Amino acid sequence: MLWRTTRYAIDCSVPRVMGIVNCSPDSFGTAEPVHSPQEAIALCERLVAEGADLLDLGGESTRPRAEPVPVEVELARVLPVLDVAVGLGVPVSVDTRHAETMRVVLERGADIVNDVQALQGPGALQVVADHGRCGVCLMHMRGEPATMHLHATYADVVADVGAFLAQRLAQVQSAGIEADRIVLDPGIGFAKTAAHNLELLRRQGELLSIGRPLLVGWSRKSTLGRLTGGKPADERVAASVAAAVLAVERGARIVRVHDVAQTVDALAVWKAVSAQRG
């Protein structure tokens, strides 16, 4: 199965590693916050050298209780990094929920829009539809980052998330965005409790029936901290790698991670074992 983006057709028959590049100094999970575009560019270069298949740039934190950032600030953080990242030989995604940011970064060569609000924000769907070529990741979340913790109530979290993603996929396709440009993200940690996150991982295979590749982000999430005795984000590397491998084992095709080198190595072992099974 392919994921078609502005410049690349990504082969999702094998798992892909998306390296996280937080261009915001207050973003979640960053052991060493980025304070300048130069630092973010250096991180891009390092993650590609470590084996990242894609890069995901973000200029606004969407961690729980995060406050929104003006579009001009988001763009000032992201654009200098994007201008270099598009020359590194891998697809470049921009993590944003703002239509104006999407429009500008697509004009500057971004391959993918990664939207935590699944193109539900004002004007977002039209920007992506009008571009006509970029890839998009549609994620499940309720509310806003500042308030999403108040919406973590589900009859059946897997069924509810699956129904939302299937419905949103259909709506986005009806706007003229082809299915092969779309991947889906269950939104681990977004308007979900630890129990919800674990249930989504246990039953992740049920989401595959929607018919598009799954992109999953467990990296350094608070659920992993709880499971490992309260470790802070920068000490959750082993747990993050384990969760990434489990997600791939259950059918995820793209894993979004901070710790690229460790995840690439772990997936090399997984691939070797999986090939022997075959």
φ/ψ bin of 215: left (φ > 0), alpha (ψ from -120 to 50), beta (otherwise): beta
* Integer Cα distance of 198 and 204 in angstroms: 9
Phi, psi of 212 (to 5 degrees): -125, 155
Which SS3 state, helix, strand or coil, does residue 147 take?
Answer: coil
97 backbone dihedrals φ, ψ, rounded to 5°: -115, 10
Asked if residue 78 lies in contact with residue 103, where contact means CB atoms within 8 angstroms, the answer is no
Q: In whole angstroms, what is the distance from residue 175 CA to residue 252 CA?
A: 26
**Residues with catalytic annotation?**
221, 256
Helix (H, G, I), strand (E, B) or coil at 233: helix
A 10 A CB-CB count for 175 gives: 12
Give the ranges where the chain is alpha helix by DSSP (H): 37-49, 71-85, 99-107, 124-131, 157-174, 194-202, 222-227, 237-249, 260-277
Report residue 185 CA to chain centroid gap: 7
The DSSP bridge partners found for residue 22 are 58
CA 214 to chain centre: 10
* The two structure tokens encoding residue 139: 């994620």
Q: Do residues 134 and 6 make contact, with C-beta atoms less than 8 angstroms apart?
A: yes
